[in-house]
């Protein structure tokens, strides 16, 4: 039995349809309404189960980032914060951003991170700092889509 899990998009459905047609040597494909079908080819019975469901969206991750010096409710010029935010965006992860004025660090922020550096993100009940550590943790916890450099492409 073959099981395929796909995101419910038009592109994915077309690719899956083409794959099924190729795999079973079919010219036309009509799936029943229950999305489960048995195909026959040369007296060989093959079962295909298709499960289409959107992945569950996790709760928004809390992240503290540098606030702009001129506009306190806007993102500041910190490339480390921007790197983590870009990673969250590329992985389509929801997040709740808290802006921190680094010139006048609030007491609640210093309780989370005694060093007073940004970005800081909350994983489960722990606050993690350092953009390298955060992006690595995001890659391990949410592997799709993969953003890490493949080992064969990496160089020293």
The verdict on whether 78 is a catalytic residue reads: yes
* Catalytic option among 14, 64, 78, 81: 78
DSSP the chain: -EEEEE-S-HHHHHHHHHHHHHHHT-SS----TTSEEEEEETTEEEEEEEEE-PPPPPPPEEEEEEBPSS-TTSB-S-HHHHHHHHHHHHTT--EEEEEE-TTS--HHHHHH-TT--S-EEEETTEEEE-HHHHHHHHHHH--SS--SPPTTT---
Enzyme catalytic residues: 78
């Amino acid at each position: 039995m073959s099981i395929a899990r796909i995101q419910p998009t038009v592109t994915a459905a077309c690719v899956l349809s083409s794959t099924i047609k190729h795999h079973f040597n079919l010219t036309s494909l009509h799936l029943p309404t229950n999305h489960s079908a048995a195909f026959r080819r040369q007296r060989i019975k093959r079962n295909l189960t298709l499960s289409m469901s959107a992945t569950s969206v996790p709760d928004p991750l809390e992240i503290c980032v540098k606030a702009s010096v001129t506009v306190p409710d806007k993102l500041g010029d910190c490339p480390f914060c921007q790197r983590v935010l870009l990673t969250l965006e590329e992985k389509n992860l929801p997040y709740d951003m808290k802006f921190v004025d680094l010139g006048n660090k609030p007491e609640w922020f210093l309780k989370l991170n005694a060093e007073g550096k940004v970005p800081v993100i909350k994983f489960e009940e722990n606050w993690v700092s350092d953009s390298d550590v955060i992006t690595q943790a995001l890659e391990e916890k949410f592997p799709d889509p993969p953003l890490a450099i493949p080992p064969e492409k990496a160089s020293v």
